[in-house]
Amino acid sequence: MVRIKAVIFDFIGTLTELIGYSLENAENKLFRSLVSNGYSMSHENFFEVYKKAHQKYREIRYGQLVEVTNAIWISDALNQLGYNTTPQEERIKTAVNVFFKSYLNALKLRPFAKSILQRLSQDYKLGLVSNFTYAPVIYAGLRKLRINGFFDVVVVSEAVGWRKPNPKIFQEALERLNVKADEAIYVGDTPMEDIQGAKNVGVKTVFIPSQFNSLNDMRKVAQQPDFNVEKLCDILKILNIR
């Protein structure tokens, strides 16, 4: 049997939970930020075009497995209301940061996450692969939770352009870790993005249920993980760590 040299984790759901987060409140803060910075529009008109723009780029993201950042569909929505904006505008960047502030504040570590990472980092290279439309949130979340120092490699879809289960994002992580697919094991909580994506490039997989996906959700898909665990500390048993 090939020796495992690296353990790669998903972030949202797998290592963290969202506690007390409201998407509606975050979107309202986004709107107020745009208005306060000079975009004059009604709440109703903005969200009518914003929802359509979001759905348009969501179909691109999930259909083509490429990442699109929030500023792009915000700019698209504003342009539909008669403005001439680009995603690079500072006012839009400010609004994106306002939108994600409450998300960042809601991120909490799952039980045992920090101690498991600390233990694994003694014997393995550690990687993180996250689907997220705004990479600075992931970097800030890792720092806030004080686990950034455990990871040798952090790959975020917005930073590299590809979304799980696109094989390219997993291959990017493997290359940066300098390990082969059969020398890594991947831990995630989504049946398609994490488990199917990692298995498709030859990486062994561990499924952990989360607030977003249950074991029943995992059982509904054809491609099953190599291991199912109930909690993060069970990973140590899989790797024969005491």
Candidates 3.40.1160.10, 3.40.50.1000, 3.30.160.40, 3.30.420.40; correct CATH number of 6-20+108-238?
Answer: 3.40.50.1000
Q: What are phi and psi of 33, to 5 degrees?
A: -65, -45
- Are 240 and 40 spatial neighbours (Cβ–Cβ below 8 Å)? no
Rounded Cα distance between 190 and 215, Å, is 10
Domain spans in the chain, listed from the N-terminal domain onward? 6-20+108-238, 23-105
How many degrees, rounded to 5, is the angle at CA 107 between CA 106 and CA 111? 125
pTM comes to: 0.95
- In this structure, the dihedral spanned by the alpha carbons of residues 39, 20, 163 and 123, taken in order and rounded to 10 degrees, is 140
For the chain, 242 residues long, give each residue's pLDDT as a single digit of tens.
Answer: 568 999 999 999 999 999 999 999 999 999 999 999 999 999 999 999 999 999 999 999 999 999 999 999 999 999 999 999 999 999 999 999 999 999 999 999 999 999 999 999 999 999 999 999 999 999 999 999 999 999 999 999 999 999 999 999 999 999 999 999 999 999 999 999 999 999 999 999 999 999 999 999 999 998 899 999 999 999 999 998 76
